[in-house]
Amino acid sequence: MDDLSKSSMKFFSDQQLCFADILLPHEVQARIQVAVLNFLKILSFPDPAISDLPLINRKSSNSRVSEGILTDVSWIFLSHSFCSRSLMKANATKAFIRVWKVMEMCFEFLTQEKRVTQRELFYKLLCDSPHYFSSQLQVNRTIQDVVALLRCSRYSLGIMASSKGLVAGRILLQEPNQEAVDCSACGSSGYAISGDLNLLESLIMKTDARYIVVVEKHAIFQRLAEDHVFNQIPSILLTAKGYPDIATRFLLHRMSRAFPDLPILALVDWNPAGLAILSTYKFGSIGMGLEAYRYACNVKWLGLRGDDLQLIPQQSLAPLKPRDLQIARSLISSTTLQDNYRQELAVMMQSGQRAEIEALYFNGYDYLGKYLAKKIVQANYI
């Protein structure tokens, strides 16, 4: 009975879903205009007030998990709990004004039909309003506030994702009206994944690969690409050079839909940050919870895992840092983590140690390719 009620609840989880719409520029501008009109109306009421900004809460307390019924993809999404930004709250006034300033700037860009990166936006805001914006992180958070207020995707606001990711291997990518790019001939630098989601949406993809390998680190990606590992085991290599950005997730998701038979395998360091990166590809994130849920993929953990530690020398293990422990605590409290991942995390915490993929080079520079091939062939992934 318990299982039955649980499964029936899964049908209703979508009602709790709060999401950011993907909108056209004029639709986003319409929402911003509604915000202005409502603000002015409330300012002119007989009992006037300065309205608060209701933002969808981007905290774990407002996150839910949707467990796929017919598929094996789960994702994190945000529900309808709000927090508010208010002009009148001491120490919060600037945060309130920052939201309006970003809305103003996005509105202008949308009118001019321009697209900007977060970095460009940061510099523009720094020049226009230096008293309000002092760091990239602050700008990024304010952008997420605007996403949470207007409930439209960041890309709809005219803000391009960063162009961080790379692809290499047995896939042909063709932009409209361009020549197809053979990613197996791109060298160790690979094909750069654009931050323009519309462009990524329009890519024509062809592959004869049997696997997709998502690699945490750029250096490992380069080593694998240089050694043409994707020819030994027909595969596609993908990296976001660390924590995955939306564009890389977007493209991976497109690949998973276009080529559903290709298992997606992750190669990350053996530490909480590596597992966090894997989790983000797998479930999405709370920070961008209004949109990231769309790009969750069924990613499996190839390595490094606890049973690989026998392949590396003892001296290559390093102690866990405070940041690792912070990430681990955050992962443990997450409801999405499956049991076998929890066990791996527990082993990490108990040992108090971490290991990097590079430790495998102890066995020779070509060992990495062999390791990968062996694990894939043995289907040694969880």
Partner 1 sequence: MLILKIPSVAAELVIERGDASGLRCENVFLPNECSPLNFSSSNVERLKSGLEEYVLKHRNSLNNKCDSCFCSREKLKISSGVASSMESHRSPGLIVEAVIAISELSESLCFRSSGNKTEVLHFKDFSPSSVSIASLNALTSIDWRSYGLTLVSAVDQVDHALIEWESLPPYLHIDMVIHCYHKQYPGKYKYQPDRHLIKKGVKLALDDLKEKHTGLLLSAHAVKICSYAPDLASSIAGIILSSNDLKFRSKCSTLLELSQSQAIGKQTVEDRIKEKIISVIETNDRKPEKIKEAAPFLFEDDRPQDLDPADLYLEEHAGGDNVFSFPD
Binding mask 111-140 for partner 1 (x = CB under 8 A): x------x----------x-xx---xx--x
Our finding on whether 24 is near partner 1 (CB under 8 A) is: no
| 123 assigned to active site | yes
**20, 23, 28, 53: which one contacts partner 1 (CB under 8 A)?**
53
Alpha-carbon 178 to chain mean position:
28
Q: How far apart are CA 224 and CA 220, in angstroms?
A: 6
Q: How far apart are CA 296 and CA 292, in angstroms?
A: 7
Q: How far is the CB of 97 from partner 1 (least distance, A)?
A: 5
3-class DSSP state of 286: coil
Our finding on whether 41 is near partner 1 (CB under 8 A) is: yes
Q: How far is the CB of 328 from partner 1 (least distance, A)?
A: 9
**Of residues 178-207, those binding partner 1 (CB under 8 A):** none
**263 neighbors 119 (Cβ within 8 angstroms):** no
**Of residues 141-170, those binding partner 1 (CB under 8 A):** 141, 149, 161-162
Span of 169-177, 181-189, 240-248, 352-360 interacting with partner 1 by CB under 8 A: 240-248
Our finding on whether 232 is near partner 1 (CB under 8 A) is: no
Our finding on whether 320 is near partner 1 (CB under 8 A) is: no
Q: How far apart are CA 355 and CA 201, in angstroms?
A: 36
**19, 39, 123, 361: which one contacts partner 1 (CB under 8 A)?**
39
Q: In 3D, which of 156, 232, 169 has the Cα closest to residue 206?
A: 169
Residue-wise burial string across 283-319, b where 16 or more C-beta atoms lie within 10 A, e elsewhere: bbbbebbbbbbbbbbebbbbbbbbebbeebeeebbee
**Of residues 89-108, those binding partner 1 (CB under 8 A):** 89-97, 100-101, 103-104, 107-108
End-to-end CA distance of the chain: 29
**Of residues 67-86, those binding partner 1 (CB under 8 A):** 80-86
Our finding on whether 321 is near partner 1 (CB under 8 A) is: no
Our finding on whether 37 is near partner 1 (CB under 8 A) is: yes
Our finding on whether 298 is near partner 1 (CB under 8 A) is: no
Region for residue 65 given its phi and psi (left: phi exceeds 0; alpha: psi -120 to 50; beta: otherwise): beta
Our finding on whether 327 is near partner 1 (CB under 8 A) is: yes
Binding mask 258-297 for partner 1 (x = CB under 8 A): ---------------x--x---x----xxxxx--------
Q: How far is the CB of 79 from partner 1 (least distance, A)?
A: 9
Span of 26-34, 172-180, 196-204, 259-267 interacting with partner 1 by CB under 8 A: 26-34
Pick 78 or 355: Cβ nearer partner 1: 78
Token pair belonging to 88: 């009148």
3-class DSSP state of 184: helix
Sign of CA dihedral 142, 148, 150, 154: positive
Contacts of 285 (CB under 8 A, 6+ apart): 76, 292
What amino acid positions are annotated as catalytic residues?
123
